[in-house]
Amino acid sequence: MSSVHVVEGHTLTLLHNGAEYFPRLVCAIDSATHSVYLETYIYAADDTGRRVADALKRAAQRGVRTHLLLDGYGSAHLPVSWMDELRAAGVGVLKFRPEISWLTFRRQRLRRLHRKLAVVDGRIAFVGGINIVNDIPGGEVLNPRLDYVVEVQGDTVERVHAAMRRLWALVSWINFKRQHKPGKHLPAHVHTAQQKVLFLSRDNLRHRRDIENAYINAIDGAQHEIIMANAYFLPSQRLRLALQSAALRGVKVVLLLQGKVEYHMQHYATLALYDEMLRAGMEIHEYNASYLHAKVAVVDGQWATVGSSNIEPFSLWLAREANLVVRDAKFAAALRTSLIQEMAQGALMLEHSTWSKRSAWMRLLTRASYAMIRVLTGVIGYARGRDDV
Query: In the annotation, is 116 catalytic?
Result: yes
Q: What stretch of H or E contains 153?
A: strand 148-153
Q: At what angle do helices 17-30 and 47-61 cross, to 10 degrees?
A: 10
Burial class (CB in 10 A: 0-12, 13-18, 19+), 237: exposed
CB 110 within 8 A of CB 318: yes
User: Is there a catalytic annotation at residue 114?
Assistant: yes
Catalytic residue among 5, 95, 116, 161: 116
Active-site annotation holder among 57, 161, 267, 293: 293
Name the active-site residue from 121, 207, 352, 387: 121
- Among the listed residues 10, 16, 67, 114, the single catalytic one is 114
To the query of whether residue 300 is one of the catalytic residues in this protein, the response is: yes
Residue tagged active-site, from 54, 300, 352, 387: 300
Sort residue 123 into left (φ over 0), alpha (ψ -120 to 50) or beta.
Answer: alpha
Catalytic annotation present for 155: no
Sequence-ordered alpha helix ranges (H) in 148-199: 156-174
210 as an active site residue: the answer is: no
Whole-number Cα distances in Å, 70 to 6, 38, 95, 167: 32, 9, 5, 11
Distance CA 186, CA 153 (A): 17
Among candidate residues 10, 71, 295, 328, the one labeled active-site is 295
177 is catalytic: no
Instruction: Kindly state the DSSP code that residue 141 receives in the 8-state scheme.
Output: B
Number of other CB atoms surrounding residue 356 within 10 Å:
11
Q: What is the DSSP string of 32-70?
A: -SSEEEEEES-B-SSHHHHHHHHHHHHHHHTT-EEEEEE
Catalytic positions: 114, 116, 121, 293, 295, 300
